[in-house]
Amino acid sequence: MVVFAGGGSRASMGSLAVHIIQGRWFMVFATTLIMSAAGATYMFGLYSGDLKDALGYDQTTLNLLSFFKDLGSNVGVLSGLINEVTPPWVVLFIGATLNFFGYFMMWLAVTKKISTPKVWQMCLYICVAGNSQSFANTGALVTAVKNFPESRGVVLGLLKGFVGLSGAILTQLFHAVYGTDSKSLILLIGWLPAVISIVFLRTVRIIKAVRLARELKVFYRFLYVSLGLAGFLMIVIILQKKFDFTRVEFSFSAVTVIFLLFLPLAIVFREEIGVWKSKNLAVEDKMCDDLKVVVTEEKKKQPPATGETSVSCWKTAFQPPERGEDFTILQALFSVDMLILFLATICGVGGTLTAIDNLGQIGTSLGYPKKSISTFVSLVSIWNYLGRVAAGFLSEHFLTKYKFPRPLVLTIILSISCVGHLLIAFNVRGGLYAASVIIGFCFGAQWPLLFAIISELFGLKYYSTLYNFGSTASPIGSYILNVRVAGHLYDREAERQMKALGKIRRAGEDLDCVGVKCFQLAFIIITAVTAFGVLVSAVLAVRTRKFYKGDIYKKFREQAAAAETEMAAAGAGNGAVIPGSVTTKA
């Protein structure tokens, strides 16, 4: 059982409903909903064709927009710094505002409700919209990690999994509300995530808590529900590929998705009612007295507080503590481990993100029907989710049981992603379906591993900022591999095909490329870059092998024990319960 502090110590205070809403498990439920709508940036392939047609862009310009989308969604240092000095609700509110503004302006442009914006304006709009995702991640996900420090891999895997699943979730809701009007998708992803974040502004917060064995079991229950949701979405995607769904059938699937999203409330009620009942038990006087003696003795053992001399962070930037301790921001940024991890992420995430952002154009150039292209996007979303939860939960299991280092898991994932890139490069028959699965899985798996490694090597004190710094590797890789490599080579091949047909491109005319040559060279280059990332990641695994062989969660258990003792003392003083350790008052 998990106890949270600050929720009211007397059984007579507050109602059960208030207790549940203020509970830490309801907070987890709120973060799952926020994350399930925070992956709109992964849906670029669904509406990129509308941007290209309505605004007359070539592939290089479209990939430039994609780069600014990735730049906004991954350069979240500002949201991290804001979160260091404000409560999470401030970050969530800013994110909701940015999300609505960015996507709403894009929708106005695509539907011609305003005059056609310049390219730099569209880049600004999509960057702002993308940046809202970093605010949602920082406000919700970072808060959850800090509330459950000993289960960070599980928390990251679960919540990042919902982000990966959000593309398929939003697609079902979109078809139910707007049918097949893909331009309206931009409007949906503008208002829906903003509304969800605003609803839970006061719910998501730092809650001082202790961790006991049951915590992991509760997270696994959340996982089972999310697996059920992913399984349902996979079945629906297969059926939608074979049959033409009507609006009624889409509505049925959307209602089922909403039901499964809210099903974890049953888990929340069960856990929080258990805490509520335990709080209504009385404490035996003798046990209270014994507890006070123990607390007094513990306080006597503590050394007296001494004054600390503040030292400039610049002077200690190159004097890092041991791995696992709380690094300052500068110590982490100048660390060799961070630089290695950053480079591996540029290679790995940059390549997989290029494939995801170009799925629509890849499918079209290889002759796949439009319905199949929608299937690719949904498959990426589903396997993106599975990659995230698998990397989070399994890496946590292997770390705690076998001391298997997370950087080595990252190395394996990068190796697998090379297979997906080669399937695209050589257009294996039906290979784009398999490539969507592999790339979606590997793209998703990299994120919880990256963020867990950062938290383990550099501590949680400045995790909000360091978490977002790690994300900035993605747009760098995306710009190099997506804009400068894939986009440039696609346009060059398209121009060659036009010249071969004796055509002359007119101003504002689309560049359409057909055939395997459109992306072949680009993905051969991407495969080579990813292979280099495998070697870089392996270096980090070797450097940190001794650290991961140790007990990396020891200090968090000690902190949890101290918090438990403090809360027990407060509860005894108020006549409240310490769940699982008290009987009735005499």
Q: Which residues contact 142 (CB under 8 A, 6 or more apart)?
A: 80, 83, 88, 463, 464, 467
Instruction: Find out whether 466 and 332 touch, Cβ atoms under 8 Å.
Output: yes
Residue 333 lies in a domain: no
Cα dist from 227 to 32, 383, 439, 453, whole Å: 13, 11, 19, 25
The residues that bridge with 209 in the sheet, in sequence order, are: 4
Distance from C-alpha of 222 to C-alpha of 408, rounded to nearest angstrom: 27
Q: Which residues contact 434 (CB under 8 A, 6 or more apart)?
A: 420, 423, 428
Residue range 163-203, pLDDT digits in tens = 878 888 998 898 888 887 778 889 999 999 999 999 999 99
Taking each continuous run of H as one helix and of E as one strand, the counts in the chain are: 26, 0
Query: Dmax over Cα atoms in the chain, in whole Å?
Result: 97
Sort residue 544 into left (φ over 0), alpha (ψ -120 to 50) or beta: alpha
pLDDT at 571: 54
Q: Which residue has the higher pLDDT, 2 or 207?
A: 207
Distance from C-alpha of 21 to C-alpha of 268, rounded to nearest angstrom: 9
Both structure tokens of 312: 């400039």
pLDDT at 560: 61
Residue 290 lies in a domain: yes
Instruction: Find out whether 464 and 142 touch, Cβ atoms under 8 Å.
Output: yes
pLDDT at 296: 41
Neighbours of 429 (CB within 10 A): 5
Distance from C-alpha of 372 to C-alpha of 211, rounded to nearest angstrom: 46
Q: State which amino acid sits at residue 580.
A: G
pLDDT at 147: 87
Distance from C-alpha of 560 to C-alpha of 393, rounded to nearest angstrom: 22
**pLDDT at 289 > cutoff 60:** no
Range of the domain at 432: 16-298+346-574
Q: How many domains does the chain have?
A: 1
Residue 338 lies in a domain: no
**pLDDT at 287 > cutoff 60:** no
pLDDT at 578: 41
Instruction: Find out whether 146 and 466 touch, Cβ atoms under 8 Å.
Output: no
**Angle at alpha carbon of residue 419, lines to 407 and 439, rounded to 5°:** 70
Both structure tokens of 159: 């919540």
pLDDT at 247: 83
Task: With CA atoms as reference, report the closest residue to 378 among 433, 341, 431, 418.
Answer: 433
Indicate the burial class of 134 (C-beta count within 10 angstroms; 0-12, 13-18, 19 or more).
buried
The 3-state DSSP class for residue 324 equals: coil
Residue 355 lies in a domain: yes
Instruction: Identify the band that residue 227 occupies on the pLDDT scale cut at 50, 70 and 90.
Output: very high
Query: How far does Cα 167 stand from its chain's mean position?
Result: 12
**Angle at alpha carbon of residue 580, lines to 578 and 586, rounded to 5°:** 65
Residue 340: φ, ψ to 5°? -65, -45
Distance from C-alpha of 57 to C-alpha of 86, rounded to nearest angstrom: 41
pLDDT at 310: 56
The residues that bridge with 391 in the sheet, in sequence order, are: none
Neighbours of 310 (CB within 10 A): 5
Instruction: Identify the band that residue 214 occupies on the pLDDT scale cut at 50, 70 and 90.
Output: confident
Query: How far does Cα 459 stand from its chain's mean position?
Result: 19
Q: How far does the chain reach from its first CA to its final CA, in angstroms?
A: 24
pTM of this structure: 0.77
**pLDDT at 321 > cutoff 60:** yes
pLDDT at 149: 83
Q: Which residues contact 217 (CB under 8 A, 6 or more apart)?
A: none
Q: State which amino acid sits at residue 573.
A: G
Distance from C-alpha of 122 to C-alpha of 120, rounded to nearest angstrom: 5
The 3-state DSSP class for residue 209 equals: strand
With tokens 């699937």, the residue in question is 253
Tell me the CATH number at 139. 1.20.1250.20
Q: Which residue has the higher pLDDT, 111 or 503?
A: 111
Question: What letter would DSSP give residue 335?
Answer: -
**Which of 240-254, 439-453, 498-512 shows the lowest mean pLDDT across its residues?**
498-512
As a whole number, mean pLDDT of residues 539-552 equals 91
**pLDDT at 155 > cutoff 80:** yes
The 3-state DSSP class for residue 45 equals: helix
Question: What letter would DSSP give residue 150?
Answer: G
Residue range 46-87, pLDDT digits in tens = 788 888 888 888 777 887 888 888 788 777 788 888 988 899
Q: Which residue has the higher pLDDT, 575 or 242?
A: 242
Residue 4 lies in a domain: no
Question: What letter would DSSP give residue 4?
Answer: B
Residue 3 lies in a domain: no
Contacts 24+ apart (CB under 8 A), 371-376: 371/240, 371/241, 372/241, 372/432, 373/45, 374/46, 374/171, 374/240, 375/237, 375/240, 375/241, 375/433, 376/45, 376/432, 376/433, 376/436
As a whole number, mean pLDDT of residues 113-142 equals 90
Residue range 16-30, pLDDT digits in tens = 788 788 888 999 999
Residue range 342-396, pLDDT digits in tens = 999 999 999 998 998 888 889 989 988 877 777 787 778 788 889 999 999 999 8
Residue range 516-525, pLDDT digits in tens = 999 999 999 9
Q: What share of the chain is helix, strand, coil (3-state, %, to 5)?
A: 75, 0, 25
pLDDT at 299: 41
